């Protein structure tokens, strides 16, 4: 019986290299996917920790602001200011004494009007969110938004 044999064939070491490379390629692929996943997870974890830290900082800050406003309120409380003023040598104006108190008509002056706007502190709400949109939207949404932006942009 005659057996056909190739004139040449892959050397065994080449087969081994090919096998190893295939396995390596497969492993590299898995490694890349794993790295992407780990990187994604790590960034998101960091951001979530940031969110909690910022939340704690914001809570502390808002408490401190409230405390500072109260401290200012205590320092400028009517009784406290009056006591300080008297200690500093100030005294009540005698409104009957025309040398110290007089009424002037100022043309164009329509009167004193306090809106309180300057003194009252408005506490703005700032949302805590270091999460990039990429992490909270699908790839399709992200692409469509970016494509739209490019179309609209200059």
User: Which residue lies nearer to another protein by CB, 108 or 154?
Assistant: 108
Q: By CB under 8 A, name the one of 20, 27, 128, 147 that touches another protein.
A: 128
Residue 73 makes contact with another protein by CB under 8 A: yes
Among 103, 108, 149, 154, binds another protein (CB under 8 A): 103
Scanning the structure block, which residue is given the tokens 């490694």?
31
Choice between 21 and 72, CB closer to another protein: 72
Write out the two tokens for 71.
């401290």
How far apart are alpha carbons 49 and 38 in whole angstroms? 16
Radius of gyration of the chain (CA): 38
Task: Name the DSSP class of 134.
Answer: G
Q: Which is nearer to another protein, 24 or 56 (CB)?
A: 56
């Amino acid at each position: 019986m005659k057996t056909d044999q190739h004139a040449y064939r892959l050397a065994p070491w080449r087969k081994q290299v090919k096998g190893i490379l295939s396995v390596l390629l497969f492993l590299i692929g898995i490694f890349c996917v794993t790295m992407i996943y780990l990187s994604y997870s790590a960034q998101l974890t960091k951001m979530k920790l940031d969110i909690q830290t910022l939340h704690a900082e914001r809570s502390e800050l808002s408490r401190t602001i409230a405390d500072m406003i109260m401290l200012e309120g205590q320092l400028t409380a009517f009784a406290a200011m009056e006591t300080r003023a008297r200690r500093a040598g100030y005294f009540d104006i005698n409104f009957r004494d025309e040398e110290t108190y007089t009424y002037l008509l100022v043309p164009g002056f329509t009167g004193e009007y306090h809106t309180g706007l300057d003194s009252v502190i408005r506490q703005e709400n700032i949302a805590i969110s270091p999460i990039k949109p990429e992490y909270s939207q699908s790839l399709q949404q992200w692409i469509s938004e970016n494509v739209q932006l490019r179309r609209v942009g200059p």
